[in-house]
Amino acid sequence: YGQVRLVSNYGCDEHDFESNDKEPWVALVSRGICPFGTKSANAGKAGAIAAIIYNNESGGVSGTLGQPSKYHVATFGISDKDAAPYIEKLKGGLPVDSIAFIDATVDTIRTTNIIAQTRGGDPENCVMLGGHSDSVAEGPGINDDGSGSISLLEVATQLTRFSVANCVRFGWWAGEEEGLLGSDYYVSQLSAAENQRIRLFMDYDMMASPNFAYQIYNATNAVNPAGSQQLRELYEDYYVAQSLNHTLIAFDGRSDYDAFLRSGIPSGGIATGAEGIKTAAEAEMFGGSAGEWFDPCYHQLCDNLSNLDMVAWEVNTKLIAHSVATYARTLEDFPKRGPAVTAESLTDPRSDVYHGHKLIM
């Protein structure tokens, strides 16, 4: 039991939950921007005894808190319609009480990464690329990330017809939607020597958003491991050569490249947009609808076979093939690897499960 307090913003920052309550209180917070687990943990850190997450769009809320945290509090979701009258009261300064009885379970679910490597090519200089094979519970994930997974599979299939100078390794990651779990585990298990053998990693997540933009992660050698900028430039040069516009997006740890970056491995990648809003300038550059999500079905049931732009998918699959062909042939002009950062050398390999402020479970 406790007084309900309306949380400012989305509850993704601890300061959103500032409260001087000495009596038990319950946080009422909007869904969106960051994982449910982050909202619950921030509520717990602020002294709340429970958290209610209401939907910021039509319908109910379902999900998990992800990896257990000592800061998590009892958490449940309600629909936008159910939340509306209470939000109105709270904004009007009226008190709202909450009584809830909540049971929680923590399940251990085993899943598997799929790793495939060419038989030929220098095993001391491996070109690696990946995409995630899972989806959120709310939808089938045909664009996120069935599109990237199938692009990788097609490139791998076609690569069997060719010889390579450098080994090529493909990764289909499990548990991305629960916190980049598969890729994080894979990198954490690499020895220093194995880490050094991976010359670069390229991430391909969401290749066919219906309201797409051709997006490139804005990697720089000044901030990221040396070689990351060369990957960005390869993508830029390809789009320019095809007379296609492109835009740069934040390289903030939102997808499976995160663990590779943190372990000193040069990384890069492309995307076509998720829940971000397409601007008028981007609509001019790429077509589509300004003011709408790049993927209107992002993390929803409608992310099905009809939720794909086939032109963008074909363009990006060819770009993936180009990236593999370029570095499978030669790494002569690619920067030498810097020091490996292994799990053993990290004092805190992951202080929180997600890196990047726009992750949504």
Average pLDDT over residues 8-25: 83
Average pLDDT over residues 347-353: 39
Architecture of domain 2-98: 3-Layer(bba) Sandwich (3.50)
Flag the least confident range among 50-54, 96-100, 139-143, 247-251: 96-100
Residues 6+ apart with CB under 8 A from 269: 202, 203, 204, 205, 216, 217, 231, 255, 257
CATH 3.40.630.10 location in the chain: 114-345
* Distance in angstroms (rounded) separating the CA atoms of residues 170 and 183: 12
Residues with active-site annotation: 176
Q: Looking at residue 353, what is its pLDDT?
A: 38
Q: Looking at residue 174, what is its pLDDT?
A: 97
Q: Looking at residue 299, what is its pLDDT?
A: 87
Pairing relationship of beta strands 97-98 and 215-217 according to DSSP bridges: unpaired
The Cβ of residue 193 has, within 10 Å, a number of other Cβ atoms equal to 10
Cβ proximity of 98 and 171 under 8 Å: no
Residues 6+ apart with CB under 8 A from 357: 12, 33, 34, 252
pLDDT band at 338 (very low <50, low <70, confident <90, very high): confident
Cβ proximity of 100 and 76 under 8 Å: yes
Helices (H), the chain: 36-45, 80-91, 148-159, 181-188, 192-197, 228-241, 257-262, 280-286, 310-329
Q: Looking at residue 294, what is its pLDDT?
A: 97
Q: Looking at residue 225, what is its pLDDT?
A: 97
pLDDT band at 342 (very low <50, low <70, confident <90, very high): low
* Distance in angstroms (rounded) separating the CA atoms of residues 83 and 329: 57
Flag the least confident range among 19-33, 85-99, 151-165, 204-218: 19-33
| CATH level 3 topology of 114-345 | Aminopeptidase (3.40.630)
Percent of the chain whose pLDDT exceeds 70: 94
CATH 3.50.30.30 location in the chain: 2-98
Q: Collapse the DSSP code of 82 into the 3-class scheme (helix H, G, I; strand E, B; otherwise coil) and give the result.
A: helix
Specify the pTM: 0.77
Q: Looking at residue 56, what is its pLDDT?
A: 84
Q: Looking at residue 101, what is its pLDDT?
A: 76
